[in-house]
Amino acid sequence: MDTFSLLARYDRRLPRYTSYPTAANFDTRVNARTYRRWLGAIPEGSAASLYLHVPFCASLCWFCGCNTSVVHSVGALERYAAAMVAEIERVAAAIGHRLPVRHVHWGGGTPTALPAPLMQAIDAALRRHFMIDGATEIAIELDPRTLPATAEADLRALGIGRASLGVQDFSPLVQEAIGRHQSVAETRDAATVARVAGARSINLDLVYGLPQQTVASLEATIASVLEIEPDRIALYGYAHVPWMQKRQAVLAGFDLPDAAARLCQQTRAAAMLVEAGYRRIGLDHFAKPDDPMAQARGTPRLRRNFQGYTLDDAAVLIGFGASAISALPQGYAQNVTRTIEYLDAIETATLATARGIARTAQDDLRSRIIERLMCDLTVDVASIADAAGMDGATLDDAWPQLEPLETDGLIRRNGAVVTITEAGWPFLRCVAACFDQYLDPQASRHAAAI
């Protein structure tokens, strides 16, 4: 089947499968009481990872789908930081013992929108209530356009070991369209600052499918990115969901690349990165051969969570801040999304949990299958079901959905082993969706699969 026919058949709106069940399936049956009970059940010694959401930026990028807003008031930033400290203390009290921490991730938004003393106060609260040491990887998302002059000292004080820098596309036309003006020099300087501050790994984020974007603009961007020599590169498809993020309505005046153009951009960008020596990781990551993520490719060490591909194997992920999601063995719990509601919840001496989902044994089984597909591009369904002590017949709904994918050459099947072909790589989310028992075929809230 030709490419255009494949796109017509398979380019639909699907989850990114950074969790299963996905956030689209969360509801209010999981609340603060549920989350407190789950926290109290975490065994002593369980390894944890911590996520800190700072929902502020100096300005809004029109393409962005993150939960963020523009706040310049120091008082408002102080109030938010105080709420995060209070939430850390409250969560720690609910757990009842200090957990060893594998990873800490500062995300947003732009975490450095908080003045350094406020970030250090949050960091100090984490260190009081959790066991963070030299083996803990501490990562941060940075906006190269707004790094403070004190950034090197600030990042070193937090013990940052990995930094992720947004790029998207260096084309002036694309940057004008998306409201994000960022030079190659700014990006290179930010990477240098992070490295000097102690970051052993630098990740650059690229986006395809943006307004005014072409294969040529992506080629030029990647050429500039390669000169910065990042350890990892993420290549994401632009998620156009204006019904969820009103700011994206600004882009309505542009003709966005269609599915065929997006696929051309994706495949050309990926080819350039592989030609430059990067190894392809799952759907949308690339890493230098000596990077731990590249070395973990094809092994159970490679995982997928809300930050994308990761080597984080902690059984517990605890999120702090507005909209942050926690993943515990019992299920997922998400804080209220709006910042003012988060502040009100924390300031009334409670947790800010708004929704979530309790996972069943069937959810756990399908989660493992989807994760291995997304990470390895192959999965032995029977082996995973056997290891879970479950009857593989509970997955019988998936096989009929996989048949057309096999006929079209996007997957190969050998018994219960499903393997993505080279032609099927861009359609990986379509394969994973066959194992999603919650997915509504008519759902429109997700981003395009390609």
Q: What residues are designated binding site for S-adenosyl-L-methionine? A: 51, 63-65, 108-110, 141, 168, 180, 205, 239, 325
* Strands 285-287 and 279-281, bridge-based pairing: antiparallel
- CA-wise closest residue to 151 among 109, 108, 105, 186: 186
Rounded to whole angstroms, how far apart are CA atoms 8 and 344? 46
Binding residue positions: 51, 57, 61, 63-65, 108-110, 141, 168, 180, 205, 239, 325
Instruction: Judge whether 104 and 136 are in contact, CB under 8 Å.
Output: yes
Binding residue positions for [4Fe-4S] cluster: 57, 61, 64
- CA-wise closest residue to 51 among 445, 332, 344, 367: 332
Instruction: Judge whether 101 and 161 are in contact, CB under 8 Å.
Output: no
